[in-house]
Amino acid sequence: MRVLTARKGHFMNIIAIYNHKGGVGKTTTAINLANELAERGKVLVIDFDGQANSSRFFAEPKAGLETALIKRNCLPTVAKSSTRYPNIDILTATSALNLVAAQFEQLPEDVQTANVRKVLTFDSGYEYAVLDLPPTLTNAFKIHRGSSNSGKGRGFQGAAPTCRQAVILKMCYL
């Protein structure tokens, strides 16, 4: 998927790694994919999994991403870390991310969509974003997949899965 970022005319390609089962290599796929994409341009890994394994691989996990998902005017900048790998930065997760799902679900749908979009587009210096998603999709993560049947305000439209391990999602940017 491609998403228009804050920098005028700049598009970022977003790849989401998802499978409904745990232990199938989602995080390993996200890490290796980020490494390969870093040879082509700047990559932002966003660890949406409360287990924070991508975060621990790349950097010391910091809180902040969970707050950005539930508060309208909060950017996830405090969760952003540089890594020891060239061209790769990460928005780290902590186990606190598991606790915000209920709060996120209480938000109106348009606020949910806006908060997810804010996280994905807050920094326009990247060519790629790799999303490491958890195996369980609460509303906080279903918003990434969106609904192709809804008219206005949809976030992402899921592409038909071509393999069991990774699903590349296509964004319908408003």
CA quadruple 115, 121, 122, 126: dihedral positive or negative? Answer: positive
- Residue 157 pairs in a beta bridge with 170
Three-state SS at 90 = strand
The Cα–Cα gap between 157 and 104 comes to: 20
Q: Looking at residue 141, what is its pLDDT? A: 54
Query: Along the 174 residues of the chain, how does pLDDT read in single tens digits?
Result: 444 444 445 577 888 887 777 888 899 999 999 999 999 999 999 998 889 999 999 999 888 888 888 888 888 888 999 999 999 999 999 988 888 878 888 888 888 888 888 888 877 789 999 999 888 766 555 544 442 222 333 333 333 332 222 233 323 222
**Cα distance between residue 154 and residue 173, in whole Å:** 8
Question: Which domains are delineated in the chain?
Answer: 2-171 (3.40.50.300)
**pLDDT of 140:** 53
The predicted model scores a pTM of: 0.76
Residue 4's CB is within 10 A of a number of other CB atoms, namely 16
Closest listed residue to residue 75, CA positions, set 111, 113, 123: 123
